[in-house]
Structure 1
Amino acid sequence: MRTFGHPATRKLALAGAVAAAGLLLAACGTDDSASSGAHHGETTTSASPSRSATTAGSAAPGAFNDADVTFAQLMIPHHQQALEMAGLADGRAEDTELKKLAVGIEKAQGPEIEKMKAWLKSWGRPESAGHNGHGMAGMMSEQDMKALAAAKGKAFDRKFTELMIAHHEGAVEMAEAERKNGRDETAKKLAHDVVRTQSAEVAQLRKILDRL
């Protein structure tokens, strides 16, 4: 019993160890495969523009297209000029209603600029694509801005009103194009707000102009 039992015990132990090693290797292979698949899925997801934007917590998490990008890139400098024009009203404007409207423009368009900058960042696009404002709907020339800055009182009120009507109409035109051609729902929502708000302000500005 002592002569045959020891080798048999060793063989059984060896067989058990081999089997255990085989199971361990199989388990590791399964884990590696699952892990590889998971990593691949994450890479694919993060490469998606819509999911990438969502992860970044941006205001525009949806799928986007070139029209959305162009809208933001053009509307940012357009809004910035509106803020510059509105800022000139302080100390120059005489009409009370016009002063309030200028403050309202600053309060509305400042945050909108920040939203659009956040979109472009989440989309991986630059804030500017080389647009300098020339040829953009409703943009004032350098001469227009200098003339506005040089005016005061009723002369300023009339010039500001005329220029801002044209400026707003240009913004509405660009926003309408975004509503028609854009893909990102948040960008299209802002475009809708621009059309609604600035169309109402154009109507208000026309009434102001009529009584100046």
Structure 2
Amino acid sequence: MKRYLPIAGLSVAAVITLAGCVSDNDTTTPVAEPTASTQGTASPTESSAVVSAEHNPADAMFAQMMIPHHQQAVEMSEMMLAKDDVSPEITDLATRIKAAQGPEIDIMTGWLEAWDRPVMPDGGMAGHEMGGMGGMDGMLDEDQMADLEAAEGDDAVGLFLESMIEHHDGAVEMAQEEIDNGEYPAAIALAETIMETQLAEIQEMEQLLAEL
């Protein structure tokens, strides 16, 4: 399992500022951008910001791959929130993951729409070796998701924590790729936020798992 040192990146509030820094020749489309929250995660603003047309393939791939990755994390969190026999610590964690990643999905979808890029990469999931989601950047396959949904009590908690740690590791890898190779400032800033938030959650989950 890879680990990365947290990056002293841009604050989420900087995403809005950077998103507005476009040249006179840029074509723009109104799309909601991230804003700061007390949890340090991104959420759409009530008033739309401007999305620059300037981006590179790494920016588009970051959004295209992170959207389904986030969607699965939200689904995993919803599974835990639907269970009656889990601790308040797990419920709180699942609630925070869902609250952070849901709005980020909307933000990245807006970018792709503004760039006239498909939400799913060319060739679909299989074209990027995602084959049923499993095996790509810590994502669970259908059987693993079914196991998580069916599990109860401590079994469910342990499975959730182990799976989400791997899932977060995958997100951190994709975020690092965007930081290294991306061009669009708002996407780079969001990648830094994802890294900071999810590295902290990995530490939290490892502690919860050790106490289980």
Q: Distance in 2 between matches of 1:171 and 1:90?
A: 22
Amino acid at match of 2:111: W
Task: Note the 1:43-192 alignment, pairs <5 A.
Answer: 51-52=26-27, 54=28, 56-58=29-31, 59=33, 60-61=51-52, 63-92=54-83, 93-129=85-121, 130-131=124-125, 133-134=130-131, 135-192=135-192
Amino acid at match of 2:102: G
Amino acid at match of 2:164: M
How far off is 1:62 after superposition? 5.5
TM-score scaled by length of structure 2 = 0.73
Amino acid at match of 2:167: H
Secondary structure (helix, strand or coil) at the match of 2:63 reads helix
The higher-RCO structure (CA 8 Å, 6+ apart) is 2
Secondary structure (helix, strand or coil) at the match of 1:51 reads coil
Corresponding pairs, count: 162
CA contact (8 A) 1:74 1:131 kept: no
Q: Structure 1: which 5+ residue stretches go unaligned? A: 1-47
Cα root mean square deviation, aligned: 1.5
Task: Note the 1:3-18 alignment, pairs <5 A.
Answer: none
Q: Structure 2: which 5+ residue stretches go unaligned? A: 1-22, 34-50
Greater helix content? 1
Secondary structure (helix, strand or coil) at the match of 1:125 reads coil
Amino acid at match of 1:51: D
* Identity among equivalent pairs (%): 43
Q: Distance in 1 between matches of 2:136 and 2:159?
A: 20
Q: Deviations over 1:186-207 (max 9, x none)?
A: 0000000000000000000000
Name 1:210's counterpart in structure 2: 210
Q: Distance in 2 between matches of 1:120 and 1:94?
A: 37
CA contact (8 A) 2:138 2:169 kept: yes
How far off is 1:96 after superposition? 1.3
Amino acid at match of 1:79: H
Secondary structure (helix, strand or coil) at the match of 2:81 reads coil
How far off is 1:131 after superposition? 2.1
CA contact (8 A) 1:75 1:171 kept: yes
Greater strand content? 2
TM-score scaled by length of structure 1 = 0.73
Q: Distance in 2 between matches of 1:138 and 1:178?
A: 17
